[in-house]
Amino acid sequence: MAKVSSEALGNESIGKLLIRQALPASVGILVMSLNILVDTIFVGNWIGSTAIAAINVVLPISFFIAALGMSIGIGGSSIISRALGADNDKKARKTFGNQITLTLLLCVSLVILGLIFINELIPAFGGKGDIFEPAKIYYRIVLYGVPILALNMMGNNVIRAEGKPNFAMISMIIPSVGNIIGDYLFINVMDLGMYGAAWATTGSYMVCFLYIFWFFVFSGKSELKIDISHFRLDFPILREIGSLGFVTLARQAVVSIIYLLMNNILFDLGGEDGVAVYAIIGRMLMFALFPVLGITQGFLPIAGYNYGAQKYGRVRSSINKAILYACLMGCVVFGLIMGFSKEIAMIFTQNEAIIERTPGAMRWVFAATPIIALQLIGAAYFQAIGKAVPALLLTLSRQGFFFIPLILILPNYYGELGVWISFPIADVLSTIVTGYFVNREIRHNLEHD
């Protein structure tokens, strides 16, 4: 029964399959984003706007370490999808075992380093002035759970690679619901402040891990039945995981660098309130784009499986339909943000200065939302089929090659406005570049089955 699930990736209608894969991914991302959104609302209203800024400082550090798990998960999942498509179950199982070993080795090492250099990292990421102490409290506790978060991220991608999107969705919902419940209990009921916010987050990671462990070991739903021999590192597999996973890791590294730059630039331009404005917009970026990101996640195993099975017509169809569906969702998001930006800001805080500054900035940040689907799907395609170099370059184009130079240059001429207009300019430029390479790939390599 389990095997039928992965074989369906190569046989079912692409449109129906994409919806079936994308809907659970979208719901999972929605719930996860709602968790981050509600967490920020609780913290902002029950602790204060400085606490929002403090969490915004910590997130890029902890998420970069956890992103190792996501990177290993996505890199390995590309191998697993193609291996299942080619009926190579042995390689799929070996890859999964290596993913687990690699995730633990790397993440535990980085957490230890992160705790040693805590006083240097927090100010470097914008945790200055009144932000430093609450950020330090949150950082220390959350970092304890980051290796578990990394395993969760890795496991979630492997579940999706097996063609089991509903289970992957549940693994995203569990920590989100757990964190919201924990926030209410620890912050509102027990009045633990930043300690409560941090322990609610870390506890939710543990609950999610128990579910993923159950899925692979006890549920009988997974095709990847591994034994102790699969945990032994295999360097050809590690090299392939690393080359593909590096794309995701590089993207998260760039995101962390952007948080570092943005927090410091906005602190210099507008103090703690500037950092809080960016924190609110950052949460909305995670939340509002959930349908676009869900379609991208649903697209990955379809493209990877069919490419491995040499069904190139289905690969072309999956690219076209994924871009179409994601663009339509992007237009809906664009309309809602343009119409309700002030109301959105008022949900997070009662600080009048922040409410006044957020709507205009948010409109600029989301200005190019209708077209970013092409960039996201295009970069994801190359990762799905195992072409690491173009995947890396296209993934980095939006935030690394265009956005970072823009935020370093434009604020010198336009102040804080220069920060916000950098977002749509980078989106447009990277979409043009990605469109060119995807079109060339289709013409040269996907014309015939």
pLDDT digits (tens, 9 = 90+) for 205-219: 899 999 999 999 888
pLDDT for res 402: 95
pLDDT mean over 65-88 = 81
**pLDDT per position as a tens digit, 169-206:** 888 888 888 988 998 999 889 989 889 989 998 999 89
Structure-block tokens of residue 167: 């289970």
Q: In the prediction, which pLDDT does 448 show?
A: 62
Q: How many CB atoms lie within 10 A of CB 177?
A: 15
Largest CA-CA distance found in the chain, in angstroms, rounded:
63
Distance CA 401, CA 408 (A): 12
pLDDT grade, residue 289 (50/70/90)?
Answer: confident
Please tell me the predicted confidence (pLDDT) of residue 387: 82
Amino acid at 18: L
Round to whole Å and give the CA distance between 224 and 218: 12
The pLDDT of residue 4 is above 70: no
User: Among 175, 213, 224, which Cα is nearest to 38's?
Assistant: 175
**pLDDT value at 413 more than 90:** yes
Overall average pLDDT of the 28-56 stretch: 77
Pick the residue with more confidence: 363 or 301?
A: 363
The structure's pTM equals 0.70
Among the listed residues 21, 55, 1, 23, the one whose alpha carbon sits nearest the alpha carbon of residue 291: 23
Count the residues in the chain.
Answer: 449
* ∠ Cα 83 88 91 (to 5°): 75
For 234-245, write each residue's pLDDT tens digit. Answer: 888 888 888 877
Dihedral sign of CA atoms 48, 53, 54, 55 in order: positive
Q: Quick one: CA dihedral 321, 287, 28, 150, positive or negative?
A: positive
Angle between the N-to-C axes of helices 193-217 and 165-183, in degrees from 0 to 180, rounded to the nearest 10: 160
pLDDT (average), residues 287-304: 86
Alpha carbon separation from 424 to 31, 38, 255, 363, 364 (Å, rounded)? 26, 26, 16, 10, 7
Q: Are 127 and 136 in contact (CB under 8 A)?
A: yes
pLDDT at residue 287, rounded to an integer: 80
Structure confidence by residue, pLDDT tens digits, 308-355: 888 888 888 899 999 999 999 999 999 999 999 989 888 887 788 888
